[in-house]
Amino acid sequence: MAARRTTMNIDHDLVAQAQEVLGTENATATVHAALDDVIRRFHVERLLEWDFNGVTNDEIEAAELARIERKRSVGRPPDVGVS
């Protein structure tokens, strides 16, 4: 994560309310969690626009497992000559 210090004018009451909702301990963590949530919601909304008619739960689970495995193997050298 590329982080840098910045100055913002921010409503402290709003941060306190967001901290309570998000369960964060400080303003930085609260802003990060809120931004993560906005981005996640955006991606969920985009997914809802897709037509998954005919796709089974088994296919979705298999795709998710494959995605997780790809993420795990990033940066790991290939298993050459190992059986």
What is the tens place of the pLDDT at every residue in 5-57? Answer: 999 999 999 999 999 999 999 999 999 999 999 999 999 999 888 888 899 99
Report which of residues 31 and 1 the model is more confident about: 31
pLDDT in the model for residue 83: 46
- DSSP notation for the chain: -----------HHHHHHHHHHHT-SSHHHHHHHHHHHHHHHHHHHHHHTS--TT--HHHHHHHHHHHHHHHHHTTSPP-TT--
Q: Is 56 helix (H, G, I), strand (E, B) or coil?
A: coil
Q: pTM to 2 decimals?
A: 0.62
Do the Cβ atoms of 14 and 3 come closer than 8 Å?
no
Q: How confident is the model at residue 50, as a pLDDT?
A: 87
23-37: pLDDT as tens digits: 999 999 999 999 999
What letter does residue 8 receive in the DSSP assignment? Answer: -
